[in-house]
Amino acid sequence: MRFVDEAKITVRSGKGGPGCVSFRRERFVPKGGPDGGDGGGGGDVLFRADPRLHTLYDFTRKRLFAAENGRPGMGRQKCGRAGEDLYISVPVGTQIYEVLESGESVLLHDLSREEEVFKVAEGGRGGKGNVHFKSSTMRAPRFAQAGEQGEEKSLALFLKIIADVGLIGLPNAGKSTLISSISAARPKTAPYPFTTTSPSLGVVFGDTGEKITVADIPGLVEGAHQGHGLGDQFLKHVERTGLLVHILSAEDMFAEDIRAGFDLVNDELAGYDPELAKKDQIAVLNKIDLLSEKEVKAAVQKAKEQGIDLFCVSALNGTGIEDLLQELWSRLGG
């Protein structure tokens, strides 16, 4: 299923059912009084955060969501049935904005917890039947209330992935291969840049059932925060990751300046949002299968001199992966 993180829809809550105009008709009761029942309330529209969903793709195929209308009241003071509420399932991390007539968007709610529910439109109240309007001066009211109209709102949905760990780095750094090696996620991999064109989520399970969610963020390039490459489209997904694993390919490493390889992506994070660059990071040198043992040791030493605690791995053959996972569990309190 194609990854979609933005959508525009219209929601409409149900109308309230009209009240009933009715009079008692019973044997031996020649002048029965009013007995019209109330109409049922219209259904509400609610959003539910579903942890099984990871994209807003379904909203590209359906744009209008309407709850059920309430049913009319009936005689003998019987109330009409209330309209059923409409629950709309969205991924955890979905932000709901109302689009006003002026074009301005106002944040209504941020569904950041699993199974969280938010009511976005309330159904109209049912109208009162004529039984409510009987008085000493009006013995036989021949009118009832109409049901209230429901609410209609134009909404913009924005998904920001929520994950414990975000994998960042230059294109073709090996992020997709790494997430494949530590979880059941199977993103597309190939030996050329921009293989990954949308975030992928994987789950890493511990020995006692605990888990870490990992997001593979598409490769960032210089100028990503200004719209170059794919970066600015997906930088927002970095905002909600608790820990960043910054991956540098051995092919992109500068032997004399390890930090330079990481600075390019870090500068893009800072350009998009200075707070992103302050997130806790684990520096990883990937594809060490392309280097000699001597070159790997030299890279670790150079990184140490520059204040970088470097983890060296080969996502392809599994070298160093266990040490990296142990560091993840340690940092995340597992």
Confidence (pLDDT) at 192: 42
Q: Residue 315: pLDDT band by 50, 70, 90 thresholds?
A: very high
**At residue 125, does pLDDT exceed 90?**
yes
The whole-angstrom separation of Cα 245 and Cα 215 is 10
Distance of CA 82 to the CA centre of its chain: 30
**At residue 109, does pLDDT exceed 60?**
yes
- Assign 159 to helix, strand or coil: strand
Confidence (pLDDT) at 196: 47
Q: Hey, which CATH number is domain 6-159, 1.10.10.10, 2.70.210.12, 3.40.1350.10, 3.40.50.2300?
A: 2.70.210.12
Confidence (pLDDT) at 203: 86
Distance of CA 44 to the CA centre of its chain: 21
% of the chain residues with pLDDT over 90: 58
Pick from 111, 109, 152, 137: which is nearest to 15 by CA?
Answer: 152
User: Which of 18-27, 29-38, 287-296 is the least confident region?
Assistant: 29-38
* Tens digits of residue pLDDT in 168-195: 988 888 888 899 888 866 555 444 444 4
**Mean pLDDT over each residue of the chain, to the nearest integer:** 87
The whole-angstrom separation of Cα 317 and Cα 329 is 21
Reading across the β-sheet that carries 200-205, which strands appear in turn? 200-205, 211-216, 163-169, 241-249, 281-286, 310-312
Whole-structure pTM value: 0.80
User: Which of 6-15, 75-84, 113-122, 162-171 is the least confident region?
Assistant: 162-171
Q: Which of 29-38, 119-128, 181-190 has the highest mean pLDDT?
A: 119-128
* Single-letter code of the amino acid located at 167: L
Confidence (pLDDT) at 198: 60
Mean pLDDT of 18-30: 83
**At residue 306, does pLDDT exceed 60?**
yes
Higher-scoring residue by pLDDT: 187, 167: 167
Pick from 123, 154, 147: which is nearest to 42 by CA?
Answer: 123
CATH superfamily of 163-331: P-loop containing nucleotide triphosphate hydrolases (3.40.50.300)
Q: Where are the domains of the chain?
A: 6-159, 163-331
**At residue 141, does pLDDT exceed 90?**
yes
DSSP for 126-148, written as a single string: PPPPGGGG--SS-SS----PPPP
% of the chain residues with pLDDT over 70: 89
* Tens digits of residue pLDDT in 199-211: 778 888 887 778 8
The whole-angstrom separation of Cα 162 and Cα 91 is 10
**At residue 142, does pLDDT exceed 80?**
yes
Confidence (pLDDT) at 31: 65
Mean pLDDT of 19-46: 88
- Assign 256 to helix, strand or coil: coil
User: Which of 54-58, 134-138, 227-231, 268-272 is the least confident region?
Assistant: 227-231
The answer to whether 126 and 19 are in contact (CB under 8 A) is: yes
Mean pLDDT of 253-272: 86
